[in-house]
Structure 1
Amino acid sequence: MDEIFLIGRILIAYLVIGSAVGHLTQTTVMAGYAESRGVPAARRAVQVSGVGFLLGGLSILLGVWGDIGALVLAILLGCTALVMHAFWKETDEPNKMMEMVQFNKDLALAGGALVIFSILSSDFAPYTITGALITW
């Protein structure tokens, strides 16, 4: 089971680190989209979320305070779902469906991050470099 948990951590880290790279290398394009969604200080928000995704993903991947990294990701992904993918505001059906898919993806990833948080903050934390900062 330890190896399966490690594979899951690698897969979620792959996705969020890839997203972080996009945020940090395509900031202008992403800031334009964020601005169109009403995000204030969009460029800064894209950069900060990119750093959050990078640090959270590396934290989970390497097992360095992975509980905190997972919690950061859960919060970031929940906020992203609500702010960036508010499908209920869309009037165009294809856009509404696309935003609903993105909203659901972000919520599912936030849920996965919460599961990882729960596991890494318990006594079961295989293949990690540090222990948890938050324990139950």
Structure 2
Amino acid sequence: MDVLVLVGRILFAVLFLGSALNHLTQTKAMTGYVESRGVPSAAAAGAVAGSGLLLLAGGLMVAVGLWADLGALLLAAFLFPTAVIMHAYWKEGDGQARQMEMVHFLKDISLGGAALVLFAFFSYAGHDLGLTITGPLFHID
């Protein structure tokens, strides 16, 4: 079971680590996109950099098993607001754009739900799992 959980953690984290890389290396382009979604220009660059660091920290923590419960919670904290702010499909007038934003919205909500499940899983069973650097930071009974 330990190897299966390790592989699952790594595969789950790959998306977030790749996104973190984009946030931190394509900051100008991502800032323009964030501004186009209604985030004020004064906050957009900081939001891109901050979310990139959040994705990097959460993704690495889940992947390597360093307080993986906290890492999963950080990812959930990124995903839910991102779904609502960045992928507000209900605001789209164009049918194709609306459909694409709905897909991204539902993806973020679903991944946020998975991150919450991982948070609970690691918080509950974390010390019994091998192949982690630390046990859980939180404890759910």
Q: 1:131: Cα distance to partner?
A: 1.0
What corresponds to 2:114 in structure 1?
Answer: 112
Q: 1:112: Cα distance to partner?
A: 1.3
What corresponds to 2:12 in structure 1?
Answer: 12
What corresponds to 2:90 in structure 1?
Answer: 88
Cα distance in 2 between the residues matched to 1:107 and 1:126: 29
Q: 1:3: Cα distance to partner?
A: 2.1
Q: 1:5: Cα distance to partner?
A: 1.8
Ranges of 4+ aligned residues in structure 1 off by more than 3 Å: none
Contact 1:119/1:125 (8 A) holds in 2: no
Cα distance in 1 between the residues matched to 2:34 and 2:82: 10
Opposite residue 52 of structure 1, the aligned amino acid is L
Select the residue among 58, 62, 70 that pairs with 2:72.
70
2:132 paired with 1:128:
yes
Opposite residue 94 of structure 2, the aligned amino acid is D
Which whole-Å deviations, capped at 9, do the CAs of 1:86-135 have from their partners, x for residues lacking one? Answer: 00111100000000011111111111111111111113433211111110
Cα distance in 2 between the residues matched to 1:122 and 1:64: 15
Opposite residue 105 of structure 2, the aligned amino acid is F
Cα distance in 1 between the residues matched to 2:72 and 2:11: 13
What corresponds to 2:29 in structure 1?
Answer: 29
Cα distance in 2 between the residues matched to 1:87 and 1:8: 30
TM-score by length of structure 1 reads 0.96
Q: 1:43: Cα distance to partner?
A: 0.7
TM-score by length of structure 2 reads 0.92
Gaps of 5+ in 2: none
Cα distance in 2 between the residues matched to 1:125 and 1:2: 6
What corresponds to 2:58 in structure 1?
Answer: 56
Cα distance in 2 between the residues matched to 1:128 and 1:122: 14
Identity %: 54
